[in-house]
């Protein structure tokens, strides 16, 4: 309980703090490329590693800012910052990995990503 309270208190917009079987990870949000559901686990792919955590993707989604991340598929949450290109069905990241865009998520993804690009071009996004 004390550790959970400490983790909540130290979370800020710049970091996501998570407990795993390996210990506690403090991940810079700008380093997160995507999060992928893997059964009851979630794999968080950052620019330099993949972290496997025993938390459902929905719980991760609740902790990530909607202005920087969006659910693109039932199995993926993607970070706008690392998107290099996308089609109607696939997102390509700056590390050349790919994520799916689900049909039911496509319109919300496109609208949110367009909004992100506008904010980025106006200098409103770090």
- Residue range 25-29: mean pLDDT, rounded: 88
- Residue range 10-30: mean pLDDT, rounded: 78
**51: pLDDT strictly greater than 50:** yes
Closest CA relative to residue 25, chosen from 37, 17, 36, 15? 17
Please give the Cα distance from 61 to 63 (Å, whole number): 5
The pTM score is 0.85
State residue 42's pLDDT score.
Answer: 94
State residue 23's pLDDT score.
Answer: 82
Environment class of 43 (CB within 10 Å of its CB; exposed 0-12, middle 13-18, buried 19+): middle
Cα–Cα–Cα angle for 42, 124, 96, nearest 5°?
40
**11: pLDDT strictly greater than 60:** no
Question: Is pLDDT larger for residue 18 or for residue 113?
Answer: 113
């Amino acid at each position: 309980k004390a550790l959970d309270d400490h983790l909540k208190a130290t979370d800020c917009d710049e970091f996501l703090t998570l407990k795993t079987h390996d210990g506690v990870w403090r991940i810079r949000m700008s380093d997160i490329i995507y999060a992928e559901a893997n059964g009851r686990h979630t794999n968080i792919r950052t620019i330099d590693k993949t972290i496997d955590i025993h938390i459902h993707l929905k719980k991760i989604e609740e902790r990530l800012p909607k202005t920087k991340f969006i659910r693109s598929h039932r199995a993926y949450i993607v970070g706008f910052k690392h998107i290099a290109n996308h089609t109607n069905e696939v997102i390509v990241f700056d590390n050349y990995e790919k994520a799916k865009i689900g049909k039911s998520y496509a319109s919300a993804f496109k609208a949110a990503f367009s909004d992100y690009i506008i904010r980025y071009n106006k200098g409103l996004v770090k």
